[in-house]
With several copies, the nearest count.
Chain A
Amino acid sequence: MARKITYQQAINEALDQEMTRDESVIVMGEDVVGGSGGHGEMDAWGGVLGLTKGLYAKHGNRIMDTPITESGYIGAAVGAATCGMRPVAELMFIDFMGVCLDQIYNQAAKFRYMFGGKAKTPVVIRAMYGAGFSAAAQHSQALYSIFTHIPGLKVVLPSSPYDAKGLLIQAIRDDDPVIFLEHKVLYTLEGEVPEEPYTVPFGEANVVREGDDVTIVAFGRMVLHATGVADKLAKEGIKCEVIDPRTTSPLDDESILESIENTGRLVVVDESNPRCSMASDIAELAVTRAFEHLKAPVKTVTAPHTPVPFAKSLEDAYIPSPEKIEAAIRSIA
């Protein structure tokens, strides 16, 4: 398992291998080929950040550009999924969900239930999320709490190249609609990734660090911050257990509860806005189902209740920082 590739390459590889394995896997999105109808290279871009580059050369028309019409093509992906295809539709930035949410939450997510079990909708919607690129208020949000709220969707937040590949392959093979969210700051992160295809199951948390003093539940990019802080504090003898749920829906509540039962202390680190968030969700889990074990108030470290600011000085203050995480841990450790 010595090969190292980036998070971005891991996602490309997952798409490539699944497209090779299964004819019904198709990929669509704005500029995922990236040159349709032009006078230069047909696949000039391969996605706005080059993530799908190379797939057109290998898979031809099974990867396709779309006009800018997110309701149209996300809906098309959903419709095709009900016909037995396995579309992977790229929404580019998750912030754009506002122009196509209906197809996701009223259509894809509810078909099976409304139709009394008669539909399967194996669609994957990939999008980038998160702050850190000075991309401002409409290109930096972490909207996974909203998708987690919606029954019928599965929501995936890979935090490493290994998970990115395995979770994406799982998402494609999964028979339910999946929202697959990639943190844009992680694209260049390197890690060990097996060459052969493999799946990482949904609803199984990754215990990134073991420890008896404090449980830290962190999501996506925040797993890296939490792990860094845990390693630092370990040297002082504060042993943190860092849990990466990997999927917020389904949630591996058992692993989290088990850890809290052991530590009695919980910090949740969530890049999203605080109200009705994953931070709230995990705090609720603790106080409703592990109350007797809690030895201290739960601490949440989140973005503030503000849009994402542009200026770096403000964006840095917006994103939960290792310093804030450390302070939260120390306040209850």
Chain B
Amino acid sequence: MSELSKEKLLEAYRMMRTIRDFEERVHDEFAKGGIPGFVHLYAGEEASATGICMHLTDQDRIVSTHRGHGHCIAKGVDVIGMMAEIYGKQTGTCHGKGGSMHIADLDKGMLGANGIVGGGPPLICGVGLTHKMRGTDGVGIAFFGDGASNQGTTLESMNLATVWNLPCIFVVENNGYAEATSSEWAVSCDNYADRAAGFGMPGTTVDGHDFFAVYETAGEAIARARAGGGPSLVEVKLNRYFGHFEGDAQTYRRADEVKQLREEKDCLKIFRKRVVDANLLEHSDLDKIDEEVAALIDEAVQQAEAASPPAVEELLTHVYVNY
């Protein structure tokens, strides 16, 4: 905790707060009927994306999942463009052609949310390979869920990363569920570290509600990768506040599960308490961020609502490089 400058701490809080407010707002606007398609929210999991991406620069790349908003924000994708994308507008990050499940911004090192569970891990091997061949110290991070951790594409990518000794980190965000199915049931190992061992890489489990724990664990794995020490697996244990997707009644959870989580396992509250108690930041510093973020999200929604949908001609563009 102490190694982080005040500036960095503020940045971390702002990132987490931005993700939280973005998601809460998307939840509300979806309920009002303003947002089309399938939307999967990251609220509750902010410390993971933030604790990891704080270590990264634009040359480092991540791949994400269907639950990608948090990773995008943490990787620096413009929030105004993201909101417009989710609304399906021409001003969106992908001109409204991708939507929530396909937000990408390669300049920021964000290689895409992904609608295919297990779609990202193979791609990250290519990111790692590129860094390795070019001799940079860049890394690739694959975020994926506990459900995706059983997909063959994920598992074989871990083997490949070790065999090729790639600077890749495999981050399992274990939020306890894949859709309605419990990870305790669907994942055959008690501990993800066991799976890491089977693929010749270190594996660590970390409390995903604790920004500092994530930050430190990820920092070690990333530093090792940058130094040529190869891939790692990091299991981040955390929880999602909303349903699998918007519209999910969540009857597969204990009735009070989410309420309790919001009270006891809120990474923002935990962070605030820690930094204020340690006299690193004041409440007022954080309140100011809260206000700024609230204004930003308002602005994003307003702009998204006001923007035009893509013109029909856009249907036939971006299929190939020449059209």
B89 — which chain A residues lie within 8 A by C-beta? Answer: 311
Interface residues as binary, A304-324 with B (CB distance below 8 Å gives 1, 0 otherwise): 111101111110011000000
CB distance from B138 to the nearest CB of A (A): 9
Which listed residue (B101, B181, B321) contacts A37, Cβ 8 A?
B181
User: Cα distance A71–B314 when bound, in Å?
Assistant: 31
A237 at the interface (CB under 8 A from B): no
Among A14-22, A113-121, A157-165, A275-283, the stretch in contact with B: A113-121
Q: Are B186 and A36 in contact (CB under 8 A)?
A: yes
User: Cα distance A67–B183 when bound, in Å?
Assistant: 9
Interface residues as binary, B257-268 with A (CB distance below 8 Å gives 1, 0 otherwise): 100000000000
Q: Which residue of A lies closest to B318 (CB)?
A: A117
Q: Are B252 and A115 in contact (CB under 8 A)?
A: no
B198 at the interface (CB under 8 A from A): no
Which listed residue (A84, A107, A151) contacts B116, Cβ 8 A?
A107
Which listed residue (B92, B102, B253) contacts A39, Cβ 8 A?
B253
Q: Are B321 and A83 in contact (CB under 8 A)?
A: no
Q: Are A66 and B319 in contact (CB under 8 A)?
A: no
Q: Are A99 and B157 in contact (CB under 8 A)?
A: no
B180 at the interface (CB under 8 A from A): yes
User: Cα distance A292–B65 when bound, in Å?
Assistant: 51
B230 at the interface (CB under 8 A from A): no
Which listed residue (A65, A95, A112) contacts B115, Cβ 8 A?
A95
Q: A44-B180, A68-B147, A306-B316 given as contacts; is B130 within 8 A of A102 (CB)? A: no
Interface residues as binary, B117-147 with A (CB distance below 8 Å gives 1, 0 otherwise): 1110111111101100100000010000001
CB distance from A48 to the nearest CB of B (A): 7
A228 at the interface (CB under 8 A from B): no
Interface residues as binary, B154-169 with A (CB distance below 8 Å gives 1, 0 otherwise): 0011011001100000
User: Cα distance A75–B157 when bound, in Å?
Assistant: 9
Q: Are B115 and A137 in contact (CB under 8 A)?
A: yes
Q: Are B124 and A79 in contact (CB under 8 A)?
A: yes
Q: Are B252 and A106 in contact (CB under 8 A)?
A: no
Q: Are A134 and B130 in contact (CB under 8 A)?
A: no
Q: Are B106 and A82 in contact (CB under 8 A)?
A: yes
B38 at the interface (CB under 8 A from A): yes
B183 — which chain A residues lie within 8 A by C-beta? Answer: 37
CB distance from B71 to the nearest CB of A (A): 15
Which listed residue (B114, B121, B126, B151) contacts A87, Cβ 8 A?
B126
CB distance from A59 to the nearest CB of B (A): 12
Q: A37-B181, A41-B251, A136-B102 given as contacts; is B122 within 8 A of A80 (CB)? A: no
Q: Are B186 and A99 in contact (CB under 8 A)?
A: no
Q: Which residue of B lies closest to A316 (CB)?
A: B312
CB distance from B97 to the nearest CB of A (A): 5
Q: Are B97 and A113 in contact (CB under 8 A)?
A: yes
User: Cα distance A111–B321 when bound, in Å?
Assistant: 11
A318 — which chain B residues lie within 8 A by C-beta? Answer: 315
B178 at the interface (CB under 8 A from A): yes
Q: Are B123 and A107 in contact (CB under 8 A)?
A: yes
User: Cα distance A312–B310 when bound, in Å?
Assistant: 9
Q: Are B37 and A134 in contact (CB under 8 A)?
A: yes
CB distance from A73 to the nearest CB of B (A): 6
A-B contact pairs, 29 of them (CB 8 A): A30-B179, A31-B179, A37-B182, A45-B252, A61-B133, A67-B147, A67-B181, A75-B122, A75-B126, A79-B127, A79-B140, A83-B61, A85-B126, A85-B130, A107-B119, A111-B112, A113-B319, A114-B112, A115-B104, A116-B92, A116-B98, A118-B104, A134-B36, A136-B99, A306-B319, A309-B310, A310-B96, A310-B98, A310-B102
Q: Besides A69-B160, A82-B126, A102-B116, 8 other CB < 8 A contacts? A: A69-B151, A72-B121, A81-B126, A85-B129, A102-B119, A115-B98, A176-B320, A309-B314
Query: Which 8 A-B residue pairings sit nearest by Cβ, starting from the closest?
Result: A75-B122, A37-B185, A79-B126, A37-B182, A310-B99, A138-B115, A116-B94, A79-B123
